[in-house]
Chains A and B, each alone.
Chain A
Amino acid sequence: MPKLSYLKALNRALGDAMELDPSVFLLGEDIRVAASNLTAGLSSRFGPERVIDTPLSEQAFTNFATGAALAGMRPVIEFQIPSLLFLVFEQIANQAHKFSLMTGGQCKVPVTYVVPGSGSRTGWAGQHSDHPYTLFAHVGVKTVVPATPSDAYGLLVSAIRDDDPVVVFAPSAALGVRDDVDFSTLAPVPLGVGRVARSGRDVTVVALGHLLQDALVVADELAGVGISVEVFDPRTVYPFDVDGLAASVAKTRRLVVIDDSNRTSGFAAEVLALAAERFTLDAPPRRVTRPDGAVLPFALALDRAVQPGRDQLVAAINAVLEDQ
């Protein structure tokens, strides 16, 4: 079977969506030459009217996309850097997201925002390394963080077809992931549906985006010492697949979440709150996150020290298995 990389899967999703629907067009900085490679080949395939390079005016072009969506288009915006989402938080959370309710359902705003390279990019330091998916989930914007090439394809296609704004975080550390994929099986993946990435009995680990690979490696290692880890990939941060996680936890009755958000009010905090309200557990759940209020320091050892890692995950799993 051919290999498909995560980044190539996103690129393929864009091309397929544009082929299928003439109202889909791309907007962003340096996308004609495909500086991030997300849009490689699309400018020559679809022309400059559908692959539009913008000036460095993130706020205006994000609202521009909202206006185009109100007029019946399906814009996809690429943000090269995750922290640009802070710059356009108003335009997404306060404009695009609110139009449907505020107008009493008179309109829809089907815009997709894609960040090919969210989270730490190794050496890009404080202002280029954030992972703010929790912020969008908090305000109720549909938010997906694919972990695998097939999901990257399927979730991006679904995001573009969705009639609401959707933010797609493609973690930098996942872009190079390659899987054997039969291209004929690539298909839309519905928003809000998680998946059990590895079946197990003793503990459920919730892992999102690039951290799925870490969770799977840890699960493999622990299998060697007789610990059976189930890995649940929610795929969508909001809306969250409560039923999918509930089914997993009903079996394992133990829960650990690994999450590349800062700790306070992060995604992991939400999953743990959900567990407290809804699940019956045999031990208090644990979370592995970035520290409170973390700013990613530049030096590589410091950068790594701030990110949730495999050793912390192993420790958390051992802790919930020891707690009774």
Chain B
Amino acid sequence: MTADDLGRTAPHAVTVDLYRAVRLIRRFEERAIEFVRSGEIVGGIHPYLGQEAIAAAVCAALTSADVITSTHRGHGHVLARGADPGRMLAELMGRETGLNKGRGGSMHAADFSLGILGANAIVGAAASIATGAAWAYRQQGRDTVAVTFFGDGAMNEGMLLEALNLAALWQVPVLFVCENNGYATTMPVGSAVAGSITARARAFGMPAFTIDGQDPETVLKASTAAVARARSGKGPMFLECLTYRFDAHHTFEHRARLDYRSPGEVAAGRARDPVAIQGARLPERERAAVDSEVEAALDAAAEFALGSAHPDPADPLKYLYAVMP
């Protein structure tokens, strides 16, 4: 489904597609955590659990000509943009068949054939990369919008504020999507951000809205409008999506048990579950059918990844240069 299709697609099909997307991300992440525990994935992951609506719905608002950049917590964006779950899982396991041939891992997954210009492990770094890519595509006469995902923590990176300025100054077709999950690792947003997140964006002269990031259809509506606006040449826009991280900042927390969120707060956060919200919009039997479809796809993905070869350590720096010096 694309933004162009939205008006013509039966609302029910949109509802099902969004449910499939959030369910796929949810179950992918739950299985990935199991693979971290079993040691198949080394280095751990930053689970996207709880934030699925944002990736699923924003990517549903894009066309195949568009591009995205992602973050250290990036599995949801990459899957929502259409990356093959088997190759994504193989990447997390460091296999040669992975999206990045096992050279990137969880924090750097990319699929340029789908316009995924990479997850980026430096907070706030990708916003200016997305801005540059969107500007370049416009120079080339392409009808491309770039979406850059980042968290509330990135709002304190000077480089991100510089990117907002460049994008607004040069009217670049880029959509800034801030996933405010309440914490930069363990730092609460209220202790980190003076003023307001959207006011910062508005100060650069771009429209900025705060929306419910837990409801996939709310996010779809807002991002469809934002993408259409960017595509029409009116410049960048900013969406702050209020969300909640259901699980750890990183899987190391499963052992470290850092004390920064009360059980009550976590329970309240988890009560607004995007998978449940979207699932409730489907008849039970249809939802179950999507669930089975997702499990079957993830079974196949796991089989593919686990059966894939490891890269050859004889050439660990393959791809370091486009042209070897």
* Given the contacts A163-B322, A191-B325, A72 and B108 also touching, CB distance less than 8 Å: no
Among A67, A101, A108, A238, point to the contact of B136 (Cβ < 8 A).
A67
Any A CB within 8 A of the CB of B318: yes
Question: Is there contact, CB below 8 Å, between B135 and A64?
Answer: yes
| Cα separation A54 to B128 with both chains bound (whole Å) | 13
B267 within 8 A of A: no
Q: Judge whether A312 is part of the interface by a CB distance below 8 angstroms.
A: no
Q: Which of B129, B158, B162, B165 is close to A70, meaning CB atoms less than 8 Å apart?
A: B129
> Any chain B CB within 8 A of the CB of A229?
no
Complex formed: what's the CA distance from A107 to B319 in Å? Answer: 10
A65 interface residue (CB < 8 Å to B) = yes
Looking at A92-100, A199-207, A244-252, the stretch in contact with chain B turns out to be A92-100
- Please report which residues of chain A, range 62-112, place their CB below 8 angstroms from some CB of chain B when the two chains form the complex: 62-73, 75, 90-91, 94-95, 99-110
Which of chain A's residues has its CB closest to B105's CB? A102
Do B322 and A57 touch across chains, with their CB atoms under 8 A apart? no
A68 and B135 within 8 A (CB)? yes
Asked if A123 is at the interface (CB within 8 A of a chain B CB), the reply is no
Question: Is the CB–CB distance between B112 and A95 below 8 Å?
Answer: no
Residue in contact with A67 in the complex, picked from B101, B117, B165, B321, CB distance below 8 Å: B117
Which of A64, A67, A239 touches B325 (beta carbons < 8 Å)? A239
B317 touches A67 (CB 8 A): no
Q: Is B209 positioned at the interface, with any CB of A under 8 Å from its CB?
A: no
Which of B100, B117, B133, B322 interacts with A164 by CB under 8 Å?
B322
A61 partner, pick from B101, B108, B137, B166, beta carbons under 8 A: B166
Interface residues in A96-135 (C-beta closer than 8 Å to B): 99-110
Point out the residue from B110, B165, B319, B323 that lies within 8 Å of A60, measured CB to CB.
B165
Residue from A57, A66, A67, A164 whose CB has the most chain B CB atoms within 10 Å = A67
Chain A contributes a number of interface residues (CB within 8 A of B) equal to 46
Q: How far is the CA of A95 from the CA of B162 in the complex (A)?
A: 17
Residue A162 at the B interface, CB < 8 A?
yes
A61 contact set on B, CB distance < 8 A: 128, 162, 166
- Measured in the bound complex, the distance between the Cα atoms of B322 and A71 in whole Å is 15
From B100, B101, B137, B323, name the one whose CB has the most chain A CB atoms within 10 angstroms. B323
Contacts of B140 in A (CB 8 A): 71-72
Q: What is the CA–CA distance of A55 and B248 in the complex, to the nearest angstrom?
A: 38
Contact A163 B323, beta carbon cutoff 8 Å: yes
With an 8 A cutoff between CB atoms, is A286 at the interface? Answer: no
Residue of B nearest to A104 (CB): B101
Q: By the criterion CB–CB under 8 Å, are B100 and A67 in contact?
A: no
A63-B98 contact given A103-B104, A164-B322, A192-B325, CB 8 Å threshold: no
**Interface check A59, CB cutoff 8 A:** yes
B299 CB → nearest A CB, Å: 25
14 contacts between A and B (CB under 8 A): A60-B162, A62-B128, A67-B130, A67-B146, A91-B125, A94-B122, A95-B125, A95-B129, A102-B100, A104-B101, A106-B100, A142-B321, A191-B325, A239-B325
Residue of A nearest to B323 (CB): A163
Cα of A191 to Cα of B128 in the assembled complex, Å: 29
Complex contact A238–B325 (CB within 8 A): yes
Which residue on A lies nearest to B320, using beta carbons?
Answer: A101
Assess whether B163 is interfacial by the CB under 8 Å rule: yes
Q: Mark B112-133, 1 if CB is under 8 A from A, else 0.
A: 1000011010100111111111
Whether the pair A59, B104 counts as a contact (CB closer than 8 A) is no
- By the criterion CB–CB under 8 Å, are A104 and B98 in contact? yes
Residue contact B125 to A103, C-beta cutoff 8 Å: no
CB atoms of A103 and B112 under 8 A apart: yes
Chain A residue nearest to B311 (CB atoms) is A104
8 Å CB contacts to A: which residues of B192-239?
none
Contact indicator A103/B108 (Cβ below 8 Å): yes
B191 in the interface (beta carbon within 8 A): no
* Other contacts beyond A66-B132, A140-B320: 8, CB < 8 A: A60-B127, A60-B163, A63-B129, A67-B132, A95-B125, A95-B129, A102-B103, A164-B323
Q: With A63-B128, A67-B128, A71-B132 in contact, do A102 and B158 touch (Cβ < 8 Å)?
A: no
How distant is B74 from chain A, measured CB to nearest CB, in Å? 13
Report the separation of the CA atoms of residues A119 and B166 in the bound assembly, to the nearest whole angstrom. Answer: 30
Are B103 and A64 in contact (CB-based, < 8 A)? Answer: no
